[in-house]
Amino acid sequence: MPMQHDAVEVISAKRDQHELSDSQIDWVIDAYTRGAVADEQMSALAMAILLNGMNRREISRWTNAMIASGVRMDFSTLSRPTADKHSTGGVGDKITLPLAPLVAACGVAVPQLSGRGLGHTGGTLDKLESIPGWRALLSNEEMMAQLESVGAVVCAAGDGLAPADKKLYALRDVTGTVEAIPLIASSIMSKKIAEGTGALVLDVKVGTGAFMKSIDAARELAETMVALGQDAGVRTVALLTDMSTPLGRTAGNAIEVQESVDVLAGGGPADVVELTLALAREMLAGAGRSDVDLADVLASGRAMDAWKAMIRAQDGDPDAPLPQARESHVVTAPSAGVLTRLDAMAVGMAAWRLGAGRARKEDPVQAGAGVVWHARPGDAVTEGAPLFTLLTDEPARFDRALESLEGGYDIAPADTPFTPAPLVIDRVG
């Protein structure tokens, strides 16, 4: 049982820019999880942390206290090493789907506990639930058996992992404290460390469609999370990757699944392939398997076989047709030239308004809704040619989606020089 403190004492300490002691941190997380610290008190503490920050010791202790609020998983009985990946969320970010089976086909187990989308960023579980029959909820026994037999599992996290985070996450969402880097880092890392993976690769997005708009904020978050992983004995690295332009050519649910299958079949958009391979190399290195030729694993069909086995193991039919939206609307290019900008936030908001995402956790999503873009920055466009296809079951949604895309792209004269921004900006760890 942690040493006794009281909430006002802990709030006042952080308000007055003092460090919180280990026992204060242990007590406040435990008491909040039990309901002995009220939401308004934890809100005040979260705001004090947002304004005054935490040092590495405080963040590490805070993270450990959140882990201690629940269970820890243990994969040491598996016959292969484990590696996982976490993305801070973006638009068209379907990377988990091709990445997990690719890494599994290389002999490394991938226990990917994923979430649902909220706002303009898509959720991995929502995408996979567009596959007929696929289920997100697995017991621990089912998860372990699938990791041993298939090597990859993407499923919903159980309530037992870091329950303190579940309470605090919901509170931050409604109190303007989501952006506090110590709280973002501890939220992500408490779940990932409790999950028990041996190696972890973080994909920290930066740009207009990301949570972190500036490179400095993204780097601070990446460095904080890498330090937390290292302090917990998990081999952790982070890649800072661009999210000013959406990934691939689709944002939605079923359409992103189709794009992922294209990648596993040896095709797919170049940027999705590039990021999948970059993250796979880091995961394999963390698990001690740097000797694998990833291009060969893709070309041989072994990654596709792992995908189909992973979907079937969760009662999905990988060969069934994917759902399609009932209605579509094509947006044509207003002029000829070269596309120089495609704003990730504009595309993400359009997909969300078409029904691909949700405003509240309990909202349903449409499997077939989303946006397809027919050109990426650097591509030549012809006046009147299709630029976007909008997809939804409810045509009343088109107007709001079109509003989102207004001002979301630039077309310059054909002779305008264009230099693409690098997809992988930096590596931390």
**CATH code of 33's domain:** 1.20.970.10
**307 and 332 fall within a common domain:** no
Segments forming the whole domain that contains residue 276 = 83-313
CA distance 165 to 299: 41
Q: What is the DSSP letter of 214?
A: S
Strand partners, 251: 371
Identify whether residues 332 and 308 lie together within a single domain. Answer: no
Q: From CA 194, how far away is CA 70, in angstroms rounded?
A: 8
Same domain, 109 and 48: no
- Residue 275 CA to residue 291 CA, distance in Å, equals 19
Contacts of 316 by beta carbon, 8 Å cutoff, 6+ apart: 128, 131, 132, 133, 134, 135
The helices-and-strands tally (H runs, E runs) of the chain is 16, 13
Residue 178 sits in the same domain as residue 148: yes
CA 251 to chain centre: 14
Q: Give domain status of residue 321, yes or no.
A: no
d(CA 317, CA 311): 7
| Exposure class string for 138-173: b at 16+ Cβ within 10 A, else e | beeeebbebbeebbbbbbebbeebbebbbbbbebbe
- Provide the token pair at 197: 């993976």
pLDDT value at position 179? 86
SS3 (DSSP) at 329: strand
- Please report whether residue 70 resides in a domain: no
Which residues have a catalytic role annotated?
Answer: 86, 165, 172, 187, 191
User: Do 166 and 29 form a contact (C-beta atoms < 8 A)?
Assistant: no
Q: Which of 350, 353, 375 is nearest to 365 (CA)?
A: 353
The answer to whether position 422 is within a domain reads no
Is position 59 within any domain?
no
**Same domain for 206 and 304?**
yes
Claim to verify: residue 102 and residue 183 sit in the same structural domain: yes
Helices (H), 16-55: 22-34, 39-52
Residues 236 and 153 in one domain: yes
Residues 27 and 118 in one domain: no
Give me 275's structure tokens: 């990021």
113 and 33 within one domain? no
pLDDT (tens place) for every residue of the chain, 429 residues total: 668 899 999 999 999 999 999 999 999 999 999 999 999 999 999 999 999 999 999 999 999 999 999 999 999 999 999 999 999 989 999 999 999 999 999 999 999 998 877 667 778 999 999 999 999 999 999 999 999 999 999 999 877 889 999 899 888 888 989 889 999 999 999 999 999 999 999 999 999 999 899 999 999 999 999 999 999 999 999 999 999 999 999 999 999 999 999 999 999 999 999 999 999 999 999 999 999 999 999 999 999 999 999 999 999 999 999 999 999 999 999 999 999 999 999 999 999 999 998 877 778 899 999 999 999 999 999 999 999 999 999 999 999 999 999 999 999 999 999 999 999 999 999
Q: Answer for the pair 113, 138: CB distance below 8 angstroms, yes or no.
A: no
Q: Is 189 in contact with 65 (CB distance < 8 Å)? A: no
User: What CATH number has the domain bearing residue 384?
Assistant: 3.90.1170.30
Give me the pLDDT at residue 1, please: 61
Six-digit token pair at 24? 């204060």
Cα–Cα distance, 74 to 355 (Å, whole number): 38
Residue 113 sits in a domain of what CATH number?
Answer: 3.40.1030.10
If asked whether residues 91 and 154 sit together in one domain, one would say yes
Per the structure, the count of domains in the chain is 3
Q: Give CA separation, 135 vs 124, 307, 308, 316, in Å.
A: 12, 15, 14, 7
pLDDT for residue 118: 66
Residue 410 CB partners (closer than 8 Å, separation 6+) = 339, 340, 341
Indicate if 296 and 170 belong to the same structural domain.
yes
Tokens (6 digits) for 96:
């988990």
Q: Tell me which amino acid residue 52 is.
A: N
| 295 touches 230 (CB < 8 A) | no
Q: Comparing C-alpha atoms, which of 129, 60, 83 is closest to residue 315?
A: 129
Do 204 and 332 belong to one domain?
A: no
